[in-house]
Amino acid sequence: MNCNEEDEYIPGKIKKFSLKEFGGAFGDWGTLIPFVIGYISIVGLNPAGIFFCVGITNIVLGLRYNLPLPVQPQKTISTVAIAENWTPNMVISTGFGTGIIWALLGFSKKLNKIVQKVPILAVRGIQLGLAFILGWTALILFFDNFLFGFISIGVILLLFKNDKIPSAIILVIFGLISMFILGTVNMSDFVFNLPIFYFQIPTLGNLLIGMLFAGIAQLLLTLTNVMIATVSLIRDLFPEKEDEIDANSLALNMGVMNLINPFLGGIPLCHGSGGLAAQYAFGARTGGSMILEGIMEIVLGLFFAETLLLLFSEFPKAILGAMLLYTAFLLGKVAFKNFNKRTFPIILISAIFCFFLNITIGFLVDLILVLIYNKIHQNKSPIS
Output the CA torsion sign for 378, 380, 381, 384. Answer: negative
pTM of the model: 0.75
Cα–Cα dist 160/297, whole Å: 27
Cα–Cα dist 36/42, whole Å: 10
pLDDT band at residue 13, thresholds of 50, 70 and 90?
low
User: Higher model confidence: residue 334 or residue 257?
Assistant: 257
Per-residue pLDDT, 7: 40
pLDDT band at residue 151, thresholds of 50, 70 and 90?
very high
Q: Which H or E run includes 301?
A: helix 288-303
Residues 162-188 pLDDT 10s: 756 678 778 888 998 999 898 888 877
Spell 320-353 as b/e; 16+ CB within 10 A means b.
bbbbbbbbbbbbbebbeeeeeeebbebbbebbbb
Residues 67-117 pLDDT 10s: 998 898 998 888 888 878 899 999 999 999 999 999 998 888 877 777 677
Across all residues in the chain, what is the average pLDDT?
84
The ranges assigned to domains in the chain are 19-376
User: Higher model confidence: residue 120 or residue 258?
Assistant: 258
Per-residue pLDDT, 382: 57
Instruction: Note every long-range contact of 11-19, with CB atoms under 8 Å and residues 24 or more positions apart, other chains counting.
Output: 11/240, 14/285, 14/286, 15/286, 15/288, 16/66, 16/286, 16/287, 16/288, 16/291, 17/288, 17/291, 17/292, 18/288, 19/164, 19/165, 19/166, 19/169
Per-residue pLDDT, 92: 95
Cβ 306 vs Cβ 193: under 8 Å: yes
Q: What percent of the chain has pLDDT over 90?
A: 28
SS3 annotation, 201-236: CCCHHHHHHHHHHHHHHHHHHHHHHHHHHHHHHHHH
Inform me whether the pLDDT recorded for 317 exceeds 50: yes
Write out the DSSP string of 281-297: HTT--STHHHHHHHHHH
Per-residue pLDDT, 260: 94
